[in-house]
């Protein structure tokens, strides 16, 4: 079955450490996105990528980095510069058609700083 | 910049009754799409219904329907015959066609509780 796989489901990080969240899709979608979800704030866009080897900052990119070396993969690194990294992170993808189509989401990664 | 506002943080409804969730948005674009996503306790985002702004007819998906008022920039979701499985966070979202970047702007969500 096609879909988006995020791993791990739960992740714990010590302060000062970088950590990488995985996102893989087999939908053959062109665009991929990372969102952060905090209570009472909905989902906010961190980074997005339209094609391989290209990505753009979203609304809250500070303290995060991404790469897009393969169409199927869009990993997110939460760096030590991110002051409040504890949150739920969602990866999504869309098919690039020139009109808006449904976004497919992964099951998310819950990151906790300990 | 586009904004999406959900003014009801929490709603509750008796099982089998009807409930309406509110959403307003702000945009200067004429061509856009609106969505309602459901996030159950599993936290998987599930598309409930979508509306293209150029369509006057309100979208309907089984027990779910929308009231799209383009001039008022309002996009409410009506759930009929509420079921226990409808309990979830509901997010209203906006997207504008931008080839290769259909990023979504979300509201803050409404938590829906179903009372047995």
Segment A55-73, tens digit of pLDDT: 999 999 999 999 999 999 9
Kindly report the CA angle at B46 between B77 and A22, in degrees rounded to 5?
A: 145
Q: Do A100 and B96 touch (CB under 8 A)?
A: yes
Q: Is A16 helix (H, G, I), strand (E, B) or coil?
A: coil
Q: Do A50 and B96 touch (CB under 8 A)?
A: no
Which of A:50-69 have CB within 8 Å of B? 50-51, 56, 58
Query: Is A91 in CB contact (< 8 Å) with chain B?
Result: no
Chain center to CA of B20: 10
Most confident segment among A49-53, A93-97, B9-13, B50-54: B9-13
Task: Calculate the alpha carbon distances from B49 to A64, A65, B14, B107 in Å.
Answer: 32, 32, 22, 15
Structure tokens at A86: 């504890």
Q: Which one of A56, A58, A100 has the shortest CB-CB distance to B102?
A: A100
Q: Do A102 and B47 touch (CB under 8 A)?
A: yes
What does the pLDDT look like over B63-116, one tens digit per residue? 999 999 999 999 999 999 999 999 999 999 999 877 656 788 999 999 999 999
pLDDT band at A46 (very low <50, low <70, confident <90, very high): very high
């Amino acid at each position: 079955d096609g879909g988006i796989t995020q791993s791990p489901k739960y992740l714990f990080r010590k302060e000062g450490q970088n950590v990488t969240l995985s996102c893989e899709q087999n939908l053959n979608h062109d665009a991929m996105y990372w969102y952060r979800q905090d209570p009472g704030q909905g989902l906010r866009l961190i980074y997005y990528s339209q094609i391989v080897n290209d990505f753009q900052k979203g609304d809250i990119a500070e303290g995060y980095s991404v790469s897009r070396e393969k169409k199927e993969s869009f990993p997110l690194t939460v760096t030590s510069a991110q002051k409040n990294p504890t949150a739920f992170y969602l990866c999504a993808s869309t098919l690039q058609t020139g009109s808006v189509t449904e976004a497919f989401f992964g099951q998310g990664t819950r990151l906790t700083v300990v | 910049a586009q904004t999406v506002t959900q003014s009801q943080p929490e709603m509750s409804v008796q099982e089998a009754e009807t409930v309406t969730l509110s959403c307003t948005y702000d945009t200067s674009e004429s061509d856009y799409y609106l969505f309602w996503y459901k996030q159950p306790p599993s936290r998987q985002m599930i598309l409930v219904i979508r509306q293209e702004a150029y369509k006057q007819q309100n979208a309907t998906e089984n027990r779910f329907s929308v009231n799209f008022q383009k001039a008022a920039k309002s996009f409410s979701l009506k759930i009929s015959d509420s079921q226990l499985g409808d309990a979830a966070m509901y997010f209203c979202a906006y997207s504008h066609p931008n080839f290769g970047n259909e990023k979504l702007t979300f509201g803050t969500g409404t938590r829906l509780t179903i009372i047995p």
